[in-house]
Structure 1
Amino acid sequence: MTASFPSACCADIRLCLRAAVGAMLVVAGLGAVQAQSSGSAAGQGGAAAVAAIGQGPGYHDPRSPFKPLQEIDGVLSWKLLSSVTTKADKSRVIPSFPAAVQALDKRTVKVQGFMMPLEPGDKQSHFLLSSVPTTCSFCVPAGPEGLVEVRSKSPVRYTLEPVTVEGQLAVLSDDPYGMFYRVTQAVPASVPAR
C-alpha cells in the first residue's frame, strides 16, 4: 500500500519532536515537585528516582490496520533501541545508552519501521522510522527511543507499510533536535520471509 504525503502537513517533524522532548521535561519537573511535596523518598533525598522520561518505543493501537513489527534476525531490535535510560538536566534530556547500544555506533545496521516523511513528495531521502505506525499526521508516535532519523543515498518511496533500510548507525547523546539515533548512507534492504 502506498500513499502520497501532503506537502503542507507538518513540514518539519523534528520541531514536533523537540516540542515533545520539552513536554517530557515539564512532566519530569512536575513529578519531582510532586515527590518533594508528598514527602516521598525522592523528595527526602532518598534513592528513589523520578518517573522515567519519554514515551518508550510507542504504543501500537490494537485498532490499527497494520500489524506490530516482529523481531527479525539481522534487523536491529526496537526493544534494544528503547532500552536507553534518560534524565532531565535543565532544558534537555540526557540519554544513557547501555553498552550493547553504544557498541552499534558507527556500525552498519538494518532497521525496520514505519516511515514518517520529513520532506514533501512521495519519495523521501530524509525521513524518520518509527517503531509503531502513526495514528495522527501531526503527532510523534513514540519518544526519541522509538524513532530513527534516516538519510538515504537515494529517495525511498513513501509507504504506509513497514520499511527496512541498511546504513551506518550513529548513537546520538547530544542531538539539537533530541534524536537518539540516526542512520546515514541508507539503502533499502530486504528481510527474510517469515
Structure 2
Amino acid sequence: MIPVDEALSRVLALAPAPRPDLVPLERAAGRALLEPARARLTQPPFDAAAMDGYALRSRDLDGPLRVAGTSAAGHPWSGEAVPGTAIRIFTGAPVPPGYDRVVMQENTVREGDSLSVATRSDATHIRLRGGDFAEGDVLPSGRKLTAADIGLLAAMNVPQVVVADQPRVAILAGGDELVRPGQMPQPGQIVSSNDLAIAALA
C-alpha cells in the first residue's frame, strides 16, 4: 500500500493541464479563475458620500451655512465650494471638490436654505476615490470564484473571465450484484449507491 498523498499525486499527475474557457460573469461562479483579471476603472471613481446629509468644509462647522445646491447619485453638483456654504448630498453622490466632509442629516438643523450642525462627529463619511481598488489592480488567478468575487469583477468592469474548462468525470460502478435505484434486488443483489455518492462529490 502507498500513502494517500502519494496516490493522490500520482492520479493528479495523469491529468492534463486545464484548458482555458472564456465565459461571461453570469456563468463564472464556482469556476476556477485561470488567468488574472485586471480592473478597467477605479472604484469609487470619485470621492463619494457615505451618508445622506450635507457636504461642507470642516472649517465651516460652526456655521451657520447656506445650502447652495444638491448632489445626488447620477446627478453631481458642479458649482464652486464657496466658504460658508453646504451642499445637500445623498449616499453615493460625488462630493464636490472643496468640501471635505459629509455631516449626517440627523446631525443638522435646517430652516429654508439656512443650515447649522447640531451634533459633531470625527467621521467624514466620505468614501475616497480608489478606496476599493484602482484601475490596473489585479484579481489573481488560481481561485474558485465566489459570489463576492463575481460582484468584485463586475465592479472592476470586467465582463468576462478566463476560467479552467470544467472536467468531465466518468463514474463506473462494477459488480454483478448491483442494480440501479428503483429496481428490486434479487437474491444476492444490492442497490448501487456508492457511484451516485461519488458522482455528487465530484
TM-score range, shorter chain: under 0.3
Q: Which has the higher strand share?
A: 1
TM-score by length of 2: 0.21
TM-score by length of 1: 0.21
User: With CA pairs under 8 Å and 6+ residues apart, which has the higher RCO, 1 or 2?
Assistant: 2
